[in-house]
Amino acid sequence: MPKKAPPTAIKEQSMEIQKSMIADNFRQLYDAPKTDQKVVSTFVPGNLNELLMCFDFARNLPEINALQNAMRKRTGRMIMEAERAGHSEDVCTYVKADLGMMAQGNIGPTGEALPTPDLLLLSYTGCFTFMKWFELVREQYKCETAMLHVPYQGDGVITPNMREYVVKQLKEDIIPTLERVSGVKFDIDRLRQYLRQSAKAEEDLVWVLQSAKNKPSPIDAYFGGVYYVGPIFSSFRGSEGAAEYYAMLRKEVEERVRLGKGPVTPEGEMPEEKYRLVVEGPPNWTHFREFWKMFYEEGAVVVASSYTKVGGVYDFGFRHDPDNPIETLADYCLGCYTNLNLPHRADMLSQYVEEYEADGLLINSIKSCNSFSAGQLLLLREVEKRTGKPGAFIETDLVDPRYFSAANVKNRLESYFQMIKQKREGNAPLGAAA
């Protein structure tokens, strides 16, 4: 029987551009061995993209590979492959998808082979798993590893000491390593130039994300948001292309605001905004469209999310600063959402609920993520208490399709939406017309 073609998703122009940017990066990685370009693998939160660009590295981001593979329904097999190799069911599924992909020939999401990296740069340790992940990968690639240790914001502040510690590592360890591996001399003016582009893109991104304060919100700051943060969280921050992309995106959204339009979903424009939510936690990638549909078909729009901050928190004023190029890299790494402690996260999420006039906080807790799922129920209670708005909790996974139970998630979401509706209608006495 011929396979039924999946329905074509309706996308904004910016989404198409974003898609081709990501595809270009995979092509660059594929070509790297032929063009003798050096390759670095590094993680999204706290990535030093501008710095890496100074050494002409092609940038490979394993989480992006895993999520892109998941959206193409490929991670199930990869995860099983990793499990066959001895990794237990509870291990982070990003890790297993990556290891499984390598075991199956290291063919990337676009069908092009991924190169063997020349360097593994671990620039963030807020998630302990990252360290273990590279330890496992290093075994196989037998390549050099550099680690930038970023102190955790345990007390909710970045002290001068913490900043100096990161700067010192950058100057004395990371930059010399990058020079040695790449054979390119470090040029601080080149870095300044990239940082200028970053700041421009960041300015526009913040504008776009904050446009969700409008009613109706012109964007979905979670499902749409993951497209928007794609370039800046991956290998494009600092590039001219990214700055252009965000300027274009901003124009697109400005137009939507002007016309009073809601977000674009895969099935077209959302006709009515019924619920405004703040979401904590990454989306599920294996059933991304199905998951999104559970929201938009009920008229639920996500107006702010913490996931769109994991690769950099910009909405409280931080911008990459070309005048203090090394220090700004340190501040960026220290300030990523993943490096914030629970009280800080509670502050931020409560603030979002208030400022974006949301109906409440929804947490999508990731089953195989031990670092960030810990304490989420506490977060939920705290935000509920502070804002007086009801919260809800769902559980899925990043890229393991076995962990997505559609009926269960839908049940909880529908209950949550109906709960919000009930609350809104007020505590009408029993029997009173609703």
Partner 1 sequence: MKCFIGIDLGSTTTKAVILDENLKELGHGITNSRSNYDIASTVAKQEATVNARMNLVAQSLSDIPELSGRLKELLENLERNFRLEQFMESLADLEMVCRNNAVGERFKGFEQGLAEALIVTFQKLRLEAPDLFAPGAKRKSDFFRDIAGSRYLAIGEAVAKDAGLAFDMMLNIYDRSIIEVENRLTGENLKEMIMKALLRTLEGFSELSGVSKLVENAVKDALDIELEETYVVGTGYGRARLPFSKEHIRSEILCHGLGAHVMYPKTLTVLDIGGQDTKAIQVDDAGIVDSFQMNDRCAAGCGRYLGYIADEMNMGLHELGPMAMKATRTVRINSTCTVFAGAELRDRLALGEKREDILSGLHRAIVLRAMSLLSRSGGIRDEFTFTGGVANNEAAVDALRALVKENYGDVTINIDPGSIYTGALGAATFAHRAV
- The contact set with partner 1 (CB under 8 A) reads 377, 381, 384, 390-393, 395, 403, 405, 407-408, 410-412, 414-415, 418-419, 422-423, 427-434
Write down the least CB distance from residue 266 to partner 1, Å: 20
* Other beta carbons within 10 Å of 427: 8
Helix ranges, 142-214 (H): 160-169, 175-182, 188-210
Write down the least CB distance from residue 415 to partner 1, Å: 4
Instruction: Select from 333, 367, 318, 310 the least CA-distant residue to 64.
Output: 310
Residue with tokens 């839908």: 410
Write down the least CB distance from residue 396 to partner 1, Å: 9
Cα 374 to chain centroid, rounded? 18
- Cα–Cα distance for residue pair 247/75, rounded to 1 Å: 34
Nearer to partner 1, 76 or 390 (CB): 390
Nearer to partner 1, 85 or 377 (CB): 377
Instruction: Select from 44, 22, 320 the least CA-distant residue to 191.
Output: 320
* Other beta carbons within 10 Å of 88: 8
Nearer to partner 1, 238 or 391 (CB): 391
The set of residues, in sequence order, having a beta carbon less than 8 Å from that of 116 and lying 6+ positions away, is 33, 39, 141, 143
- Cα–Cα distance for residue pair 198/194, rounded to 1 Å: 6
| 190-330-278 Cα angle (round to 5) | 110
- Cα–Cα distance for residue pair 2/259, rounded to 1 Å: 42
Contact 266, 289 (CB under 8 A): yes
Write down the least CB distance from residue 271 to partner 1, Å: 14
Write down the least CB distance from residue 414 to partner 1, Å: 5
Nearer to partner 1, 5 or 432 (CB): 432
Tell me phi and psi for residue 185, to 5 degrees: -80, 140
**The pair of three-digit structure tokens given for residue 307, joined into one six-digit string:** 């996931």
**The pair of three-digit structure tokens given for residue 105, joined into one six-digit string:** 């020939």
Nearer to partner 1, 215 or 293 (CB): 293
Write down the least CB distance from residue 87 to partner 1, Å: 21
Contact 143, 121 (CB under 8 A): no
Write down the least CB distance from residue 407 to partner 1, Å: 8
Nearer to partner 1, 311 or 391 (CB): 391
* Other beta carbons within 10 Å of 25: 21
Nearer to partner 1, 1 or 407 (CB): 407
Pairing of strands 119-122, 144-147: parallel
Contact 320, 50 (CB under 8 A): yes
Nearer to partner 1, 47 or 376 (CB): 376
How many Cα atoms are found within 13 Å in the side-chain-facing hemisphere of 35?
13
Q: Which residues does residue 145 pair with via DSSP β-bridges, in sequence order? A: 120
Nearer to partner 1, 104 or 422 (CB): 422
Write down the least CB distance from residue 278 to partner 1, Å: 16
Contact 375, 280 (CB under 8 A): no
Alpha-carbon dihedral 372, 128, 402, 18, rounded to 10 degrees: 80
The kind and range of the H/E element at 59 are strand 58-60
Write down the least CB distance from residue 196 to partner 1, Å: 47
Nearer to partner 1, 160 or 431 (CB): 431
Nearer to partner 1, 103 or 342 (CB): 342
